[in-house]
Amino acid sequence: MNLAGQYLLHPGSHPSIVGSRPVMGGARLGRLLRGQQGDSVVQVLGNVLTLCAHAQRRTARMVLKAAQQQEHAHVTPASTRSLHLETARDHLRSMALDWPQRQMGSTAHPALLRWLAQCPVPLAAPAHELPAAQASTQQAQLQAWLESTILHMPIAQWLTHYRTEEAFAAWCTEAAERATPLQCLAAWQTIARRLQPTIRTLDVLDANAAQQAAQLSAIAQDLRSNPDFALRPLWLGACAESGAWSRLRHRQDPGTGHSVWSRLQARWVELLELACVPVEPQARLLHSGALPLGGGQAIAWCEMARGLLLHWVQLDERHCVQDYRVLAPTEWNFHPDGALAHALTQLDSADAAATLCLASAYDPCVQCSVNIQEIRHA
């Protein structure tokens, strides 16, 4: 069994998404971690779930502290900066490496690769959280590089002028020769603006603390009682999706669209925002935290590049892991009855371009292939 998993997309078919990530189900993570404590749990999860490993480690640390009834550390500028920088790195890596592979019949011109060679932030994530000073330096370098190489203007000015879908589409066409992600966006925009999947966001986090606690407790109960819930999760009895477009801070935004284009745009805009946001607790773009549930149980959360990450743990009286679950954005977004699955079913069976565009918007963290003969890898 391939525990890392994979997904096979079948446009025009039902089911349109076949596959899973077995390591997330069958209580396998719980068995892997059983008897372990503290840093060893954090390290194992970072090694097993390598994409967005920084978020896995962060969430594991929070859930273990909460389960032991330890006071959760207040959000600090340093921890906020680290989360922002690493999430920006994840966005950039996906756009730079995955998006070009999901283009139909095109290869990047060598000139378009120069932008990446000049990037001051390594795409490979560090094995450990960077010291605050180094993270601050990298964030400042990332902002300066984006402004000089890609935007040709300050990020704040760009965000003022190009937030609407129409303005963003026009800018991507104009700036396509500056970098491969912009070339990809320019190529996708006609398809992406046409595709309008039903949107039902995963609204587990809430500005009302009591409401949020109740909703997180309900998810924790589902994770505890059903070892396979993390493979096929449901929110209030239905599928939901999670991504940069579904952040808690966007909850009251009337301008959020339903198109695939709006989802792609949300990822690009968040990259820019993460590179320049003032690092103050009240300015957090990404939320994280933990909730003790009593009896050695806790649930923790972290908004990461692909969406909302949840960890649940049950500790024994020695503070060793008795059971553990991880619920990641990919399992919500690639649910066989979710919005992506329905959008794929409505495509023509030969529409590889739209299939690849959808895959890029929902961005799985495992291998994803398309069953059309001329497409071998996506």
- Give me 112's structure tokens: 């378009």
Token representation of residue 32 = 């892997």
Distance CA 6, CA 9 (A): 10
Residue 54 one-letter amino acid: H
What's the pLDDT at 109? 60
pLDDT at position 243 is: 95
Q: What is the pLDDT of residues 166-205, one digit of tens each?
A: 999 999 999 999 999 999 999 999 999 999 998 899 999 9
Q: Which 3 state secondary structure label does DSSP give 301?
A: strand
Beta strands in the chain (DSSP E): 6-9, 17-20, 288-294, 297-304, 307-315, 321-327, 367-370
Structure tokens at 99: 């998006």
Beta bridge partners of 290: 300
Tracing tokens 């997904």 back to the chain, one arrives at: 7
The pLDDT assigned to 50 comes to 86
Q: Which residues are within 8 A (CB) of 118 and not within 5 positions of it... i.e. 6 or more apart?
A: 145, 149
Under-50 pLDDT residues of the chain: 373-374, 376-377
pLDDT digits (tens, 9 = 90+) for 326-372: 999 999 999 999 999 999 999 999 999 999 999 999 999 888 889 87
Q: How far is CA 146 from CA 139, 165, 253, 276, in A?
A: 11, 20, 26, 10
CB distance 362 to 263 below 8 Å = yes
Under 8 Å between Cβ of 185 and 289: no
- Concatenated DSSP letters of 359-374: HHHH--SSEEEE-STT
**What pLDDT is attached to residue 376?**
47
**Per-residue confidence (pLDDT) for residue 9, from 0 to 100:** 95
CA distance 327 to 211: 20
